[in-house]
């Protein structure tokens, strides 16, 4: 399948396909070994959740230290949202559920969402 010098001048050379189809086999194998997607967990701002509750949630669910948790909370407060971490699908979903259940138990409207990381399919 490796091209000789003469191959370069054949019609269709370099278009990603060759006569015996082995380029296609390589493509299929790449798809089967694709890495699982990763998901960002993004914390969203609202006008009612107390700042210290958000800091506590970031420490409890995302294992942030006080300084990091405070920095993330303030970024959400000022910019509307902030990425808290990037996780596999199941871990991200569990963390989103844990945040929502703590928020609900404490009657705060705190929301966070998960978003797929783009450009991570190599
Ligand atoms: N904006 C909230 C307030 O002024 C604080 C807050 C920060 C709420 C981060 C949600 O994800 C959040 N009390």
pLDDT over 70 at 9, yes or no: no
pTM for the full predicted model: 0.75
Pocket-testing residue among 41, 42, 47, 49, ligand 1, by greatest number of atoms within 8 A of Cβ: 49
Cα 24 → chain centroid: 29
Which residues contact ligand 1 via a Cβ below 6 A? 43-47, 49-51, 54, 73, 76-77, 110
For 11, other C-beta atoms within 10 Å of its C-beta total 5
Q: Ligand 1: distance of its center to the CA of 103 in Å?
A: 12
SS3 of 108, please?
coil
CB environment 32-70: b (16+ within 10 A), e (fewer)? eeeeeeebbbbbebeeebeeeebbbbbeebbebeeeebb
Cα 108 → chain centroid: 26
Percent of the chain with pLDDT over 70: 70
Give the per-residue pLDDT at 4: 43
Dump pLDDT digits (tens) for 52-83: 999 999 999 999 999 999 999 999 999 999 99
Alpha carbon distance 54, 36 (integer Å): 30
């Amino acid at each position: 399948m490796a091209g000789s010098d003469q191959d370069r001048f054949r019609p269709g050379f370099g278009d990603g396909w060759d006569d015996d189809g082995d380029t296609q086999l390589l493509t299929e194998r790449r798809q089967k070994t694709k890495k699982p997607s990763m998901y960002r967990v993004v914390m969203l701002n609202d006008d009612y959740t107390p700042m210290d509750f958000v800091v506590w949630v970031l420490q409890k669910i995302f294992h942030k230290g006080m300084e990091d948790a405070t920095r993330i909370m303030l970024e959400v407060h000022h910019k509307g949202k902030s990425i808290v971490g990037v996780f596999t699908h199941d871990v991200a979903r569990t963390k989103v559920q844990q945040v929502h259940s703590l928020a609900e138990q404490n009657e705060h409207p705190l929301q966070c969402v998960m978003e797929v990381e783009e450009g991570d399919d190599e």
